[in-house]
């Protein structure tokens, strides 16, 4: 089950469409969804998590806590909508496009994709693009 939670004044306008899209991406990759919580928040909230749990004193757009087991994804994905908005401006894309990329980025981590090296980042970007091509909004 995919749940969307909000700790700021943001809310998705199309939760069912997004949940169906995420499920479709999982199926294409050969995974099932167990329990995944998306938590949309602001920079301050995510920064506190970053410091407390990861010892990183920086702003970020996403933090994921993976509880997946084999081919069943599970966990919590925290997304700063403030950071997504800033990144969208920096990358000259729409907020919705950047948000879609970040939403699926967290799920790709749960499926084992990494982005620590340049090669891993390229593969992650390819997978993000493939996933976004499946989104019908």
Taking a C-beta distance cutoff of 8 angstroms, is the pair 43, 80 a contact?
yes
Read off the pLDDT of each residue in 110-137 and give the average, rounded to a whole number: 93
Stretch 83-106: mean pLDDT: 97
Report how far residue 85's alpha carbon sits from residue 90's, in angstroms, rounded to the nearest whole number. Answer: 9
Residue 23 has pLDDT above 70, yes or no: yes
What's the pLDDT score for residue 3? Answer: 98
Residue 115 labelled as part of a binding site: yes
- Strands 72-80 and 62-66 turn out to be antiparallel
DSSP H/E element including 109: helix 95-110
| pLDDT at residue number 136 | 75
| pLDDT tens track for 37-89 | 999 999 999 999 999 999 999 999 999 999 999 999 999 999 999 999 999 99
CA 120 to chain centre: 17
Structure tokens at 29: 């990759």
pLDDT over threshold 80, residue 105: yes
Range of the domain at 59: 2-133
**pLDDT attached to residue 137:** 61
The contacts of residue 46 (CB under 8 Å, 6+ apart) are: 59, 60, 61, 63, 78, 79, 80, 83
What is the pLDDT confidence band of residue 112, given thresholds at 50, 70 and 90? very high
pLDDT confidence of residue 60: 94
Q: Return the percentage of the chain with pLDDT > 70, whole number.
A: 99
To the question of whether residue 56 is assigned a binding role by annotation, the answer is no
Q: Per the annotation, does 66 bind a ligand?
A: no
Q: Which residue has the tokens 């939670």?
A: 5
3-class DSSP state for residue 64? strand
CATH number at residue 107: 3.40.390.30
Contact 115, 121 (CB under 8 A): yes
Q: How many domains does the chain have?
A: 1
Q: What is the pLDDT of residue 77?
A: 98
What is the separation of C-alpha 30 from the centre of its chain, rounded to a whole number of angstroms? Answer: 18
CA dist., res. 82 & res. 10, Å (int): 10
pLDDT of residue 58: 92
**pLDDT above 90 as % of the chain:** 98
């Amino acid at each position: 089950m995919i749940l969307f939670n909000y700790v700021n004044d943001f809310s998705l306008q199309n939760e069912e469409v997004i949940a169906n899209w995420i499920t479709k991406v999982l199926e294409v990759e050969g995974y099932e969804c167990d329990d995944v919580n998306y938590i949309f928040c602001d920079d301050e909230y995510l920064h506190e998590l970053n410091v407390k749990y990861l010892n990183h004193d920086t702003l970020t757009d996403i933090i994921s806590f993976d509880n997946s087991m084999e081919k069943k994804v599970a966990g919590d994905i925290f997304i700063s909508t403030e950071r997504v908005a800033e990144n969208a401006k920096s990358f000259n894309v729409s907020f919705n496009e950047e948000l879609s990329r970040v939403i699926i980025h967290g799920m790709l981590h749960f499926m084992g994709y990494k982005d620590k090296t340049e090669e891993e980042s390229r593969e992650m970007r390819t997978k993000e693009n493939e996933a976004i091509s499946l989104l019908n909004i």
